[in-house]
Amino acid sequence: MDEIHVVDAFTDVAFKGNPAAVVLMQKERPPSWMQRVAAEMRHSETAFVVVGDGRRRTGYPLRWFTPVAEVDLCGHATLAAAHVLGGRSEFITRRSGRLSCVAEGGWVEMDFPADVLDPVPASGELSQPFGDVTIEAATRGKDDLLVQVPHEEEVRGLKPDFAGIAALSRELSVRGVIVTARQGERAFVSRCFYPEVGVPEDPVTGSAHCTLATWWSPLLGVTEMMAEQASPRGGRIRLRLSDNRVHLGGQAVGVLRGELLV
């Protein structure tokens, strides 16, 4: 039978951070089955890992699903999968290449691709779904729109219009919107919204930090940063930018383990 785990990612405290389901499969399963399991679990992401047939030697096939759609890259569910597997894990993905993870000393470090950013005019249209905020700058990455505001209090106090964010995401053909601000000399804060793919606000978004690290590194003048995602559950991410790769570090806590009966 296939194992299923629930792991709280990017936290060292249970019921904080971002919960992800991890399904360890003995063989490949149809995407339609994976989508139904993800809809049943109702986490922002469920990771599906093929572990049978000695996969640790060659790399584990890995896919991610929200309750309503498959996505190309997910950080917190990858962290959760690496936490469950332990040690060094190599994942083979459909569109994000080969991802390496190391679980050691209570932390998981993930090696992800840095994003490629295209500037976007900081128009008033971008602030409409977020109320009374000032957009200092904006950029578009591979998956998300990023907007920068002047103060971290604005990020924490956002009152998002999810329907407006979904409409903006459709208009710009992006997965969702990241809102971010500086937090001291070597850190930043963010919140991430993905209503168009069934996740109104994601508690902690590892993949978004490929965009965030690429954005903030030249602005802060550093290659190592700490990040806080200021959702109600909250979480912290350790970041290092090197050779067009983003190394994301996070902790994780397992909260459930069982078997799928179907």
- The Cα–Cα gap between 189 and 161 comes to 20
Weakest mean pLDDT among 12-21, 50-59, 85-94 = 50-59
State the chain's mean pLDDT as an integer: 96
Question: In this structure, how many other beta carbons lie within 10 angstroms of the beta carbon of residue 83?
Answer: 25
Where residue 237 falls (left for φ over 0; alpha for ψ -120 to 50; beta otherwise) is beta
On whether the CB atoms of residues 231 and 201 are closer than 8 A, the answer is yes
Weakest mean pLDDT among 23-27, 42-46, 123-127 = 123-127
DSSP labels, 205-232: -TTHHHHHHHHHHHHHT-SEEEEEE-SS
Per-residue pLDDT at 132: 82
Give the predicted TM-score (pTM) of the model: 0.91
Domain with CATH 3.10.310.10 in the chain: 3-111+249-259, 118-243
Weakest mean pLDDT among 9-13, 53-57, 106-110, 234-238 = 53-57
User: Is 171 annotated in the active site?
Assistant: no
* Partner residues linked to 8 by β-bridges: 19, 253
The helix (H) or strand (E) run that includes residue 165 is helix 162-172
Per-residue pLDDT at 98: 95
Confidence of residue 56 (pLDDT cuts 50, 70, 90): confident
Percent of the chain with pLDDT over 90: 94
* Single-letter code of the amino acid located at 185: E
Q: Which of 3, 45, 125, 136 is catalytic?
A: 45
Fold of the CATH domain 118-243: Diaminopimelate Epimerase; Chain A, domain 1 (3.10.310)
Helices 75-85 and 208-220, axial angle in degrees (round to 10): 110
| Average pLDDT of the segment spanning 158-170 | 96
**pLDDT digits over 111-141, tens only?**
999 999 999 998 888 999 998 899 999 999 9
Distance of CA 79 to the CA centre of its chain: 9
| Average pLDDT of the segment spanning 232-256 | 97
pLDDT at 143 over 90: yes
Weakest mean pLDDT among 38-42, 52-56, 135-139 = 52-56
**CATH code given to domain 3-111+249-259:** 3.10.310.10
